[in-house]
Structure 1
Amino acid sequence: MNAPLRRVAISVLVLFTLLIVNVNYIQVVRSDELREDSGNTRVLTEEYSRERGSIVVDGTEVALSVPTQDTLEYLRQYPQGPLYAPVTGYYSLVYGAWQLEDAENEVLAGSDARLFTRRLTDLFTGRDPSGGDVVLTLDAGVQEAAMAGLEGVTGAVVALDPSTGAVLGMASTPTYDPGRLSSHDPADIRAYAEELGAMDADPRLNRATEDNYPPGSVFKVIVSAAALSTGEYTPETVVPAPDVLTLPGTSTQLRNFGNSSCSSSQEQSLIDALTISCNTAFAQLGIDLGEDRVREMAEAFGMTGERLEIPMRTAGSSIGDIESEAALGQTSIGQRDVRMTPLQAAMVAAAVGNDGTLMTPHLIDQVRAPDRTVIDRADPEELSEPVTPEVADQLQEMMESVVTEGSGRAARIPGVTVAGKTGTAQVSGDVPDHNWFVGFAPADDPQIAVAVFVANGGGTGGDVSAPIAGDVMQAYLEGQGG
């Protein structure tokens, strides 16, 4: 073979080798990346050519796919869009899937391993493939009461079944219409997304799970638990409650809300300190207990900084770094670096209501095949046991006092004993305080635990968040015939 032919042959061989390498690189190495690329029209066309499964609450489809006459054969719809948007999220041509639409995409799209038999049957029968349904633990009445209570404010509500960890309600405001982000009109999708992004508080953020906030006096439940768990304190133990507490090693003076006095004697029982939410008493109590006990109790309740999956991933909750006794005093009243998600706050209340056992929160009750056959069902799991049943009983007694005689009166429900704790958290000098309430009912046999968070509500947890919590708990109890 002469030199020119040899060079041509070598060039062809090199080009062919490069072609094989490139094909394998695209089909093997980059396959997942290209498949998940929202700009891949072939993938989009394939996805929209099959019926996506539904998201179901109390037997009603809150997200479903309907046939169209478009190139994309199915359109995702949300009949009660804004009510469930914080949970369902959206399924968008432009922005992909969000919230449950993303977390449960494999089930809804029909690619989940649990649907393999169905896919195999579809292949042999020629039946159009379709996705499975996700049935949620949410209670429609709770969700409606929670969203109604948050109307006009920025905030969140989480309600749990204390005995199972099932999420009964998950509300976040402001809210939005996921249907507009899931249309077949890219221009309108982008315009609506820009509108949402320009708002002071982006409605696409689920404030119940995706962000954390200073909890203020809600954290005093954890400090109370740490004290009672030592065996050295009871609800009747008298603790210091000065009008002003100078934090150790500093000239910083910590005062009570509104510069009030907790007790004319400068001391009071632990139950009274929680009932009226005495800052100086709990700051000193935390200092006396020490960082290790406060931190260990917070972590036992779930404040480890780690993310949960419910199945959407949540932000972490933690008490942050504590570099001194002065910092510990501020931490002990839920300020400084303490951060909680509303979900975590509800978990604290649920654990107390469940005799000291904290159940893992979960949103999905069951997964169904396209023929409505149940292929998976929730199995409640214990997450931790932060306190003993005896300590839980003492905390219940103290939290009942908060609602019957103290700062949480607005959460009372006629004919039902409610246990709870208010919280008012300072943010900065120019910004109104955050307002919180956590609680459960009935106090002697808890069916629902709730956390209400109102960002920059401008009042107190007792007058802003407690009434919302009362309405949410009452809606559930009445719906259960209680």
Structure 2
Amino acid sequence: MNTPLRRLASVVLVMFLALLGSVTAVQYVQAGSLNNDPRNVRTIYREFGNARGSIVVAGEAVASSTPVDDAFGYQRVYADGPLWSAVTGFYSIANGAGWGLEDTQDDVLTGRSDRLFFSRLRDVLTGQRPEGATVETTLLPAAQQAARDALGQQQGAVVAIEPATGRILALVSTPGYDPNTLAVHDTAAASQAFDELVAAPGNPLRSKATQENYPPGSTFKLVTAAAALEDGRWTPESELPAPTELELPLSSSTLGNFGGGGCGADPISLADALRVSCNTAFAGLGIELGAEALEEQAQRFGFDADPPAILPNAAGSTFPDDLDGAQTALAAIGQGSVTASPLQMALVAAAIANDGVLMEPTLVDTVRAADLSVVSRTEPSVRSEAVSGTTAESLTRMMVGVVEGGSGTSAQIGGVQVAGKTGTAQTTAEAAPHAWFTGFAPTDDPRVAVAVFVQNGGDLGSEATGGRVAAPIARAVMQAVLGS
């Protein structure tokens, strides 16, 4: 073979090896990533061509897949979509799986989870079309509906939890949205619906219950009171200075009470300061405790920790570092740089209700394969010990005082003893305050802890308080749980 032929043969051999290597890389090395690439139309057809599992509340599917006569095979359908949108999220050809259980439980809903290996093997052996697993939630329809109805057209959120287990009974964010508009097989229509929701007032696609943080206002006084009781130098009867105005350390500013008046007594007991939500007393208490003690107590309730993984993109509640005296005073009353989600404040109440033990919140009860066999079942687990049982008992008595004769009387339920705390959180000089309430019932055997957040005072605007706006919503949700 002469030299030109040898060179040509070498070039052909190199090209053949390069082609073989490229094919191997595409078909073997990159197979997984290419199959899972959302731009892969065959992947989309494959997923929509199989029956995606249902999301179930109390035995009824709130998200399911219905056979249709088109190229995709199945249409995702949401029953009463706006009511459950903060829970389900959406599943869309154009926009993927978004934000709710459709996202966090996508692997089991599609059937791809390793937990469903034997189900997939059975489908291969029997020739059956693959089906996803069903996700059964912990939610209580009566509580969810009560929360949605009580919020009405106001922007806000409600979270209700079973204190002893961490099971979430209601999770509502308003304004909600209809996931059915995003699930349509017309990609142009689905994309347009998504863009409209992104631009809509109140950002309905983001859950105010779990994905957003706000200043918790006076509901945070529960954390400050807990720090004082855990310190040992204070009891519910301990007297605190309660001036009409408090001069903030290292500052020319002063702090007043809501409405500009006094707190009814000076000095005032810790229990009465919580009952009437006395800002100056709690700000002074925070200064005496110090930022480090407040931060440590907040962290025991879940602040600064990784947020619970019940839904994607959950916001982690924060307590700021390196506070000076004035900032510590503001932090002690839930203002300044302290932020919390409604889920976080529901966890504070739930921990107090559960003898000081904070349970891991859960939204998924059971996952079942297509043959109804149990794939997994969520068992209650402890997240932290927030306070001692003695402190929890003292806080409960103090919170009962808030509802029976303080700022939270609108949360009263006939024949049921309710514990709670109101909050009216200042935002900016131009915006109305946020209205909060968190509490639990009944106090002798807590079945529900709830947090209510109404953005910028809702219907009452600048006239709003947590007691006037949020407490009645909490009462409605607690009644729904206790009456079910």
Cα root mean square deviation, aligned: 1.3
- After superposition, residues 75-474 of structure 1 pair within 5 angstroms as 75-98=75-98, 99-264=100-265, 266-457=266-457, 458=461, 459-474=464-479
Residue 44 of structure 1, CA deviation: 0.5
Residue 311 of structure 1, CA deviation: 4.9
Residue 305 of structure 1, CA deviation: 4.1
Contact 1:62–1:80 (CA under 8 A) maintained in structure 2: yes
Q: Secondary structure, in 3 states, of the residue corresponding to 2:171?
A: strand
TM-score normalised according to structure 2 size: 0.96
Equivalenced residue count is 478
Residue 29 of structure 1, CA deviation: 5.1
Letter in 1 for 2:470: S
Q: Secondary structure, in 3 states, of the residue corresponding to 1:421?
A: strand
Q: Deviations over 1:412-434 (max 9, x none)?
A: 11111110001111111111111
Residue 19 of structure 1, CA deviation: 2.5
Residue 318 of structure 1, CA deviation: 1.3
Residues 32, 207 of structure 1: alpha-carbon distance in 2 compared, 3 angstrom cutoff: farther
**Alpha-carbon distance between aligned partners in 1 of 2:28 and 2:205, rounded to the nearest angstrom:** 34
**Alpha-carbon distance between aligned partners in 2 of 1:446 and 1:258, rounded to the nearest angstrom:** 33
Residues 339, 31 of structure 1: alpha-carbon distance in 2 compared, 3 angstrom cutoff: farther
Letter in 1 for 2:161: L
Letter in 2 for 1:376: S
Residues 329, 24 of structure 1: alpha-carbon distance in 2 compared, 3 angstrom cutoff: farther
Letter in 2 for 1:86: A
Contact 1:38–1:94 (CA under 8 A) maintained in structure 2: no
Letter in 2 for 1:473: M
Letter in 2 for 1:11: V
Q: Deviations over 1:243-262 (max 9, x none)?
A: 10011111110111111111
Contact 1:170–1:208 (CA under 8 A) maintained in structure 2: yes
Letter in 1 for 2:181: R
Residue 24 of structure 1, CA deviation: 4.0
Unaligned 5+ runs, structure 1? none
Unaligned 5+ runs, structure 2? none
Contact 2:210–2:311 (CA under 8 A) maintained in structure 1: no
**Alpha-carbon distance between aligned partners in 1 of 2:24 and 2:86, rounded to the nearest angstrom:** 41
Q: Deviations over 1:148-179 (max 9, x none)?
A: 12221111110000000001110001011101
**Alpha-carbon distance between aligned partners in 1 of 2:219 and 2:202, rounded to the nearest angstrom:** 24
Q: Secondary structure, in 3 states, of the residue corresponding to 1:415?
A: coil
Q: Secondary structure, in 3 states, of the residue corresponding to 1:177?
A: coil
Residue 298 of structure 1, CA deviation: 0.2
**Alpha-carbon distance between aligned partners in 2 of 1:401 and 1:24, rounded to the nearest angstrom:** 72
Q: Deviations over 1:28-56 (max 9, x none)?
A: 55444433332211001111111111000
**Alpha-carbon distance between aligned partners in 1 of 2:402 and 2:90, rounded to the nearest angstrom:** 40
Identity over aligned pairs, percent? 49
Q: Deviations over 1:136-156 (max 9, x none)?
A: 000000111111122211111
Residues 151, 33 of structure 1: alpha-carbon distance in 2 compared, 3 angstrom cutoff: farther
Contact 2:291–2:323 (CA under 8 A) maintained in structure 1: no
**Alpha-carbon distance between aligned partners in 2 of 1:118 and 1:163, rounded to the nearest angstrom:** 34
Contact 2:235–2:270 (CA under 8 A) maintained in structure 1: yes
Residues 224, 24 of structure 1: alpha-carbon distance in 2 compared, 3 angstrom cutoff: farther
Residue 375 of structure 1, CA deviation: 2.0
**Residue of structure 1 equivalent to 2:42:** 42
Letter in 1 for 2:366: Q
**Alpha-carbon distance between aligned partners in 1 of 2:201 and 2:352, rounded to the nearest angstrom:** 36
Single out whichever of 255-264 and 219-228 deviates more from structure 2.
Answer: 255-264
Q: Deviations over 1:54-112 (max 9, x none)?
A: 00000000000010100100110001111111010011001100121111111110111
**Alpha-carbon distance between aligned partners in 2 of 1:454 and 1:327, rounded to the nearest angstrom:** 25
Single out whichever of 304-313 and 68-77 deviates more from structure 2.
Answer: 304-313
**Alpha-carbon distance between aligned partners in 2 of 1:23 and 1:271, rounded to the nearest angstrom:** 74
Residues 125, 279 of structure 1: alpha-carbon distance in 2 compared, 3 angstrom cutoff: same
Q: Secondary structure, in 3 states, of the residue corresponding to 1:375?
A: strand
Contact 2:120–2:130 (CA under 8 A) maintained in structure 1: yes
Residue 18 of structure 1, CA deviation: 2.8
Residues 27, 328 of structure 1: alpha-carbon distance in 2 compared, 3 angstrom cutoff: farther
TM-score normalised according to structure 1 size: 0.97
- After superposition, residues 53-68 of structure 1 pair within 5 angstroms as 53-68=53-68
Q: Deviations over 1:436-478 (max 9, x none)?
A: 1000000221100000011111211111111100000001100
**Alpha-carbon distance between aligned partners in 2 of 1:31 and 1:330, rounded to the nearest angstrom:** 55
**Alpha-carbon distance between aligned partners in 2 of 1:30 and 1:299, rounded to the nearest angstrom:** 43
Q: Secondary structure, in 3 states, of the residue corresponding to 1:403?
A: helix
Residues 454, 322 of structure 1: alpha-carbon distance in 2 compared, 3 angstrom cutoff: farther
Q: Secondary structure, in 3 states, of the residue corresponding to 2:252?
A: coil
Letter in 2 for 1:78: Y
Residues 298, 119 of structure 1: alpha-carbon distance in 2 compared, 3 angstrom cutoff: same
Q: Secondary structure, in 3 states, of the residue corresponding to 1:48?
A: helix
Letter in 1 for 2:328: L
Single out whichever of 322-331 and 15-24 deviates more from structure 2.
Answer: 15-24
Residue 345 of structure 1, CA deviation: 0.5
Residues 119, 280 of structure 1: alpha-carbon distance in 2 compared, 3 angstrom cutoff: same
Q: Secondary structure, in 3 states, of the residue corresponding to 2:49?
A: coil
Contact 1:38–1:95 (CA under 8 A) maintained in structure 2: no
Q: Deviations over 1:292-315 (max 9, x none)?
A: 211110000000242221253421
**Residue of structure 2 equivalent to 1:70:** 70
Residues 468, 167 of structure 1: alpha-carbon distance in 2 compared, 3 angstrom cutoff: same
Residues 409, 31 of structure 1: alpha-carbon distance in 2 compared, 3 angstrom cutoff: farther
Q: Secondary structure, in 3 states, of the residue corresponding to 2:421?
A: strand
Q: Deviations over 1:358-403 (max 9, x none)?
A: 0000101101010111221111000111111111000000000111
Residue 187 of structure 1, CA deviation: 1.4
Residues 27, 240 of structure 1: alpha-carbon distance in 2 compared, 3 angstrom cutoff: farther
